[in-house]
């Protein structure tokens, strides 16, 4: 087990500096354009693929970093560049984590490479869990998967929403209900291979922020996938459902469902994204405060501005500490006895919203215009308190964990 440390080793520092250079030289110059276009920045994704950032190998190296700091370090640097473009680069990772968390070795080896493609033909993947009437309330999920034993196929029907890369993905990972009587315990995850009949893109959302990232509905109409596309396999599913039924009869402990397993693994990474956006806004505000003069002196000479910057930096550093702690705990098998994963996501996401708002205030009227990036950063930051579990859900998870009570 790696000891917890705040010092990056030499290899990690090299990776961080490499990512920072890509974010500064490639992502930032393109950020305003793709935000305005509200389209997937395929040329930037391809550039990331050419240098090795958008690849299975790169994310595997970071994911299995024994210190746990590889993924949060990478997320922070890329999202420091721009949240919308960065999400287009890393969005495939959520589907990949879904396969890693629930799939067999054969499924991991078969499907994750197809999620990325290669530098000459980049692909993306989508993780489809939320529904129009089932976001945080996963027990209300309506998408159904029915097993056709004669053909060894699963038939999927339903509508997913808020899917990053939904409809344009090469591979979709879909969470569906296989046993409605078990509520959220009766869910399973399925691979929908490329060009599978019955899967289509529904509404594409025009968003407040992260506009360079494609978000859409995914419609499933009698989508048939081979039995081998059930993540983990049918034998494992049948065993899990049998245990859930026994526990339900006995009123026993809860069983984590497939979607929640994916979200728990990714929450500190979302916190790191928020840290990157918050840090970027803080740095813009600091530079502006040093050079902008009012009444014959730089505005940072005023306590009202200087104290805001002090609070901003403190909050950013505190958020990073929580994210790194949770990431280290996760990779080393430490249980989140105080919901440390949710703590990191909650604090970092709330910090991003606050710090980006403070940055606009420090820039004044300039901060409210699109001539300066803090306006875009503030719009982007709003998503962190919403996706992969709202701040309210994080507080609920933390409170339940601390109290042991079914708080509602």
**Which residues are marked as active site?**
388
| Sequence-ordered strand ranges (E) for 8-98 | none
CB-based contacts of 54, cutoff 8 Å, min separation 6: 45, 46, 48, 89, 92, 116, 122
CA dist., res. 281 & res. 301, Å (int): 19
Extract the runs of DSSP E, i.e. beta strands, from 55-149: 117-118, 121-122, 125-128, 144-148
Q: How far apart are CA 388 and CA 129, in angstroms?
A: 10
As given in the structure block, the two tokens for residue 112 are 């994750």
**Encoding tokens for residue 143?**
């998408």
- Tokens 């506009």, located at residue: 211
> Which residue, chain included where needed, has tokens 């976001």?
135
C-alpha span between 273 and 293 (Å, rounded): 32
Contact (CB, 8 A) for 384 and 353: yes
Paired residues of 11 in beta bridges: none
Residue in the block written with tokens 């009123």:
251
Cα 320-323-329 angle, rounded to 5 deg: 140
For tokens 């006895």, what's the residue? 337
Do residues 190 and 145 lie in contact, with contact meaning Cβ atoms separated by under 8 Å? Answer: yes
């Amino acid at each position: 087990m790696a000891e917890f440390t705040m010092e990056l080793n030499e290899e990690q520092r090299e990776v961080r500096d490499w990512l920072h250079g890509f974010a500064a030289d490639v992502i930032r110059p393109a950020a305003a354009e793709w935000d305005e276009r509200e389209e997937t920045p395929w040329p930037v994704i391809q550039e990331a693929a050419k240098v090795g950032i958008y690849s299975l190998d790169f994310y595997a190296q970071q994911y299995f970093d024994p210190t746990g700091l590889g993924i949060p370090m990478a997320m922070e640097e890329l999202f420091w560049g721009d949240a919308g473009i960065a999400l287009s680069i890393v969005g495939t990772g959520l589907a990949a984590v879904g396969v890693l968390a629930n799939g067999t070795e054969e499924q991991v080896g078969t499907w994750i490479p197809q999620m990325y493609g290669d530098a000459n033909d980049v692909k993306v993947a989508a993780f489809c869990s939320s529904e129009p009437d089932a976001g945080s309330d996963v027990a209300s999920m309506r998408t159904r998967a029915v097993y056709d034993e004669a053909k060894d196929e699963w038939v999927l029907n339903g509508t997913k929403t808020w899917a990053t890369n939904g409809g344009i993905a090469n591979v979709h990972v879909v969470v569906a209900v296989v046993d409605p009587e078990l509520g959220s315990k009766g869910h399973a995850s399925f691979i929908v291979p490329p060009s599978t009949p019955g899967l289509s893109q529904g509404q594409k959302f025009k968003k407040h922020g992260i506009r360079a990232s494609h978000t859409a509905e995914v419609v499933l109409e009698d989508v048939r996938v081979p039995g081998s596309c059930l993540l983990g396999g049918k034998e494992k599913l049948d065993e899990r459902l049998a245990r859930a039924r026994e526990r339900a009869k006995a009123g026993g402990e809860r069983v984590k469902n497939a979607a929640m397993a994916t979200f728990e693994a990714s929450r500190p990474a979302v916190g790191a994204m928020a840290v990157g956006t918050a840090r970027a806004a803080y740095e813009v505000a600091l530079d502006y405060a040093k050079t902008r003069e009012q009444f014959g002196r730089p505005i940072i000479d005023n306590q009202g501005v200087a104290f805001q910057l002090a609070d901003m930096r403190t909050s950013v550093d505190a958020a990073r500490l929580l994210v790194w702690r949770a990431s280290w705990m996760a990779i080393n098998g430490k249980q989140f006895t105080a919901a440390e994963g949710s703590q990191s996501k909650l604090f970092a996401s709330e910090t991003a919203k606050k710090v980006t708002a403070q940055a606009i205030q420090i820039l004044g009227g300039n901060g409210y215009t699109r001539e300066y990036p803090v306006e875009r950063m503030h719009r982007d930051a709003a998503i962190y308190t919403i996706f992969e579990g709202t701040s309210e859900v994080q507080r609920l998870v933390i409170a339940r964990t601390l109290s042991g009570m079914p708080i509602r």
